[in-house]
Structure 1
Amino acid sequence: MTEGRRHAAAEAFDAIGADYEQAFAGSSAHRASLERLLARLTPRSRVLDVGCGTGRPTADVLAAAGHEVLGVDVSPVMVGLASRRVPTASFRCADIRAVPLEEEGFDAVCVYFSLLQMTRDEQRSLVRRLAGALRPGGHLVLATVPLDVEDVSAVFMGQEVRVTSFGPEAFRALATGAGLSVVDEERTVFTPSHPGAVSEPHLFLHCRREAAAPGA
């Protein structure tokens, strides 16, 4: 993520803060995705939560199940909220692209809707890096708004943001191109609980690292 994009994302989500958690708390698909992941993890798995937000529900659910969770988010406000809401997990305020990732250091990685402010090249590069940070047999959960858009202006919860995404098939290719196999997927439509919100498509991919992933 370029310096300007990183600061813009941090500023937008600093402003949104706890409202984000409230707006998306009703997503049954997100909860179901976490339940599928929990069923596949061995006890005390090490999990990276990319774009952790307030820590809920992802880090909270995983930590409550006894897993070792590290959440990373570019927004200082979000990280502060997460640290207070989920004291049993660890959180770091940083751009995930600048965070050194240990090769095969995690049993699972979660990326719930945190790619949308990155360019397509940045998304591809990051997913390859995250795949490489998985142990063989590890799981990578990717969720996005599957629209074929590139660097478009949008208003999200009152904040102007720049959004880039892939259509469903191209998003699957993002995962398989990183050396991952797609175990299952769910497509749904969700309306955030926020004034002026409109329904948006959501795509959840559960992927597995079968062997060494290609280098970034």
Structure 2
Amino acid sequence: MDETGGAGREDRLRAAAVFDALGARYEEAFAGSQEHRAALEWLLERLRPGSRVLDVGSGTGRPTAAVLAAAGHDVLGVDFSPVMVELATRRVPGATFRCADIREVPLEDGSYDAVCVFFSLLQMSRAQQSGLVRRLARALRPGGHLVLATVPVDVEDVEAVFMGQPVRVTSFAAEDVVALVREAGLTVLSRRDVMFTPALPEAAPEPHLFVYCRRSP
């Protein structure tokens, strides 16, 4: 087994099917996150002109890839949902999108100025999440930044319903997320714990954790 914890084909297909089904509805439900926008502004303040940015789980391309590409950065979005990649390619022509499993995408050490990981780990096992964060940390150039956002709950392979779609979810408690990032060799500069209510009928507030990190120069 490699350090990604093994990415089973059936797991990938199930996860892709969820977001294929959601399509643009996902963006509509989560577009109102002010903390997501704030995280992008934080990143923009630290990027050199024309920086290379990797957007992991890029979805429809908005807001992450759209905001960064509009600022003149070279953005690669990777998502395993063909529907999401098609939407993103149309909506954000200034960025490049690839339909692939990030766990299997070769990542050259020091090749990116920044990496964004917004809520894209939740359908991976804990071993896969840990292994991927280590790979992403190595993909940063020295002094580069990574912003990771997730739902910080202590659950492992539990059945849930997300926007009407059955999913299996794995995550960590907030302090364990921070520890995971540090163990990957990144310095945690700050964190934000917020509650966010998606724009969905009868949606309840859910905890969101944003962790702001840097690879040591």
Partner of 1:68: 74
Q: Please say if 1:210 is aligned against 2:210.
A: no
Total equivalences in the alignment: 211
Q: What is the aligned counterpart of 1:49 among 52, 55, 63?
A: 55
3-state SS of the aligned residue for 2:122?
coil
Structure 1 stretches of 5 or more lacking a match? 212-216
Partner of 1:214: none
- Residues 153-197 of structure 1 deviation map (CA, whole Å, 9 limit, x = unaligned): 110001000000000100001100000000111110001001232
Give me the whole-angstrom Cα distance separating, in 2, the residues matched to 1:177 and 1:33.
22
> What are the within-5 Å matches in structure 2 for residues 196-207 of structure 1?
196-207=202-213
Structure 2 stretches of 5 or more lacking a match? 1-6
Q: Please say if 1:158 is aligned against 2:168.
A: no
> What are the within-5 Å matches in structure 2 for residues 164-175 of structure 1?
164-175=170-181
Structure 1 stretches of 4+ with a deviation exceeding 6 A read none
Q: Report the RMSD for the aligned CA atoms in angstroms.
A: 0.7
Larger mean CA deviation between 144-153 and 1-10 belongs to 1-10
Partner of 2:34: 28
3-state SS of the aligned residue for 1:11?
helix
- Residues 83-123 of structure 1 deviation map (CA, whole Å, 9 limit, x = unaligned): 00000000000000110011110000000000000000000
TM normalised by structure 1 equals: 0.96
3-state SS of the aligned residue for 2:45?
helix
Identity %: 68
Give me the whole-angstrom Cα distance separating, in 1, the residues matched to 2:137 and 2:172.
18
Give me the whole-angstrom Cα distance separating, in 2, the residues matched to 1:182 and 1:138.
12
Partner of 1:145: 151
Give me the whole-angstrom Cα distance separating, in 2, the residues matched to 1:66 and 1:183.
25
> What are the within-5 Å matches in structure 2 for residues 11-160 of structure 1?
11-160=17-166
Partner of 2:10: 4
Give me the whole-angstrom Cα distance separating, in 2, the residues matched to 1:62 and 1:198.
30
Q: Please say if 1:184 is aligned against 2:190.
A: yes
Give me the whole-angstrom Cα distance separating, in 2, the residues matched to 1:21 and 1:111.
16
Displacement of 1:2 = 1.9
Q: Any conservation in 2 of the 1:157–1:197 contact (CA below 8 Å)?
A: no
Give me the whole-angstrom Cα distance separating, in 2, the residues matched to 1:169 and 1:106.
26
Displacement of 1:4 = 1.6
TM normalised by structure 2 equals: 0.96
